Amino acid sequence: MSARRRLVVVGGVAAGMSAAARAKRLEPDLDVAVFERSGFCSYTACGLPYHVSGVIADHRALVMRTPAEFATEGIAVHVRHEVTAIDPAARTVSVRGLDTGEERCEPWDAPRARGRRRAPPARACPAPTCPARSRCARSRTRRRSAPGSKRAPRAARS
């Protein structure tokens, strides 16, 4: 029997909680820990303007799920914890509890890719004076308009 793999997610709002929940669904035996600096996780950031304007009076109405609800699914959510450093070589994150000031290191396993292919290398921009040759918009346009491409070049789109 192998040891349980561990995933650490930094940030517990929309993207972080979606990633944690998806990882848990794909690998139910995965140990998932989420660290969020604020006091809330899984809140609707798009509703913040409504709270500020007074349309939504109670800020707790923006919270979709609490850490306790995630705990029932095996996802440990640590609110008011700030990740201060990530050490890829040691596979650890340094975490500081904002309420207690306690600092500790949390281990994680290397993530495993599922069902994705490696991205092709970026083509160099055809303009010899372009300072960002590999990131240039002209380079991306050339890739889209390559023979067999279904997408028209940017200039040809309406």
Structural domain includes residue 94: yes
Within this chain, do residues 77 and 131 fall inside the same structural domain, yes or no?
no
Task: Let me know if 105 is a catalytic residue.
Answer: no
Within this chain, do residues 26 and 64 fall inside the same structural domain, yes or no?
yes
- The predicted pLDDT at position 142 comes to 45
Within this chain, do residues 67 and 130 fall inside the same structural domain, yes or no?
no
- The predicted pLDDT at position 62 comes to 80
Structure-token match 């140990």, residue found: 31
Closest CA to 35 of 3, 68, 1, 82: 82
- The predicted pLDDT at position 71 comes to 92
What string of pLDDT tens digits covers the 158 residues of the chain?
457 889 999 988 888 898 999 999 999 999 999 999 988 888 777 888 888 888 888 878 887 888 898 999 999 999 999 999 989 889 999 999 999 999 999 999 855 444 445 555 555 555 555 555 455 544 444 444 455 555 555 555 44
- In terms of residue numbers, what domain contains 99? 6-107
| pTM exceeds 0.85 for this model | no
Q: Which of 41, 46, 130, 136 is catalytic?
A: 46
List of long-range contacts for 148-154, beta carbons under 8 Å, 24+ apart: none
- The predicted pLDDT at position 94 comes to 93
Question: What is the count of structural domains for the chain?
Answer: 2
State the Cα–Cα distance between residues 156 and 158, nearest whole angstrom: 7
Within this chain, do residues 12 and 80 fall inside the same structural domain, yes or no?
yes
